[in-house]
Structure 1
Amino acid sequence: MSVSAAFEDSAEIAEARDLARSFLTDVQAVHGLPVSERAMGLVQLVVSELVTNARKYAPGPCLLTLEISDGAIEVTVWDSEPVLPTARAADPDRVGQHGLEIVMAVSRSIEVHREPVGKRIKATVVLADDPGGDAAGRLA
């Protein structure tokens, strides 16, 4: 099960979060897959951060795809900017520019790939809480 949408301006970031919430609500209701409230919030956070970065740093539209795979949701954002993002060193005095660090902290995995046009970032977030793991679903 998957859904995709294109976003062309920063005003649509809230729509991207709403799309993620609606998609996960359908996953629960129609397919019976468990989605914890924690996962619901984390997915909306990841979507918000990745779409915000794409709209802020890349010219043109971005494409968001949400796909369920093996008890997790893969959040993929494509944009037209070929420069790959890098996490910056921790700096408590820095205001902003923490998006990639946040996505890395709450995701089970993250992949960044250069594409023929632009780049694609995929973050995977587990859907059900794991009492033996951390917030991102990795074993503690």
Structure 2
Amino acid sequence: MAAVVVQDECESLVGRPIVSAVALDGVEPIAGARRAARGFMTAVQAVYGLPVSDRAMSVVELVVSELVTNAYKYAPGPCLLELEVGAGVVDISVWDSAAQLPAVSAADPGRIGQHGLEIAMAVCRSFEVRREPVGKRVKVTIGLADDPGGEQAGLLL
């Protein structure tokens, strides 16, 4: 697993996103993805001073876990996790090598598992899937802060 933070800490953040990219392959890629996401979001708070609510921290870890799990379950080879913070949100992007686009399963109260896509769609502001020249990319957006009333800031209902 390799992480690349593409924002020089000395540069001004005005109008610039904070970005991290992690190539995932090998042993425990899902746990590694969660650790990378938590580390990145912690740095967003500690290094850059941007507010990240506890809810946002947990949702980022959950969504990263679900998206990377799906990539490893349904696509051969490695995947790429990208995190980008800007304008009060974090964009999470997971690329994998499988061309088949994911689909939400039909409702089935007896179904065990296969709820990751539904979970991600329910907790994110936006959800997008697109084919790439090789494979596909799933991209979601999560708000970083809660509003003063404790509700999720900017959540689209």
Normalising by structure 1, what TM-score?
0.93
Partner SS, residue 21 of structure 2: strand
Aligned pairs, number: 140
Unaligned 5+ segments in structure 2 are: 1-17
Structure 1 residue 19: Cα displacement: 0.7
Q: Decide which of 30, 47, 50 is 1:13's aligned counterpart.
A: 30
Unaligned 5+ segments in structure 1 are: none
* Partner Cα separation in structure 2 for residue 134 and residue 10 of structure 1: 37
Computed over aligned residues only, the root mean square deviation of the Cα atoms, in angstroms, reads: 1.8
Q: Which runs of 4+ in 1 moved over 6 A?
A: none
Superimposed CA distance per residue, residues 81-112 of structure 1 (whole angstroms, 9 cap, x where no aligned partner) = 00000112222110011110000001000110
Partner SS, residue 28 of structure 2: helix
Q: Decide which of 15, 19, 22 is 2:39's aligned counterpart.
A: 22
Contact 2:145 2:153 in 1 (8 A): no
* Partner Cα separation in structure 1 for residue 129 and residue 150 of structure 2: 24
Partner SS, residue 64 of structure 2: helix
Structure 1 residue 135: Cα displacement: 4.5
- Residue of structure 2 equivalent to 1:74: 91
Q: Which has the larger radius of gyration?
A: 2
Quick one: higher RCO (CA 8 Å, sep 6+), 1 or 2? 1
Alignment of 1:119 with 2:136, yes or no, is yes
What residue identity is the alignment partner of 1:27?
Answer: V
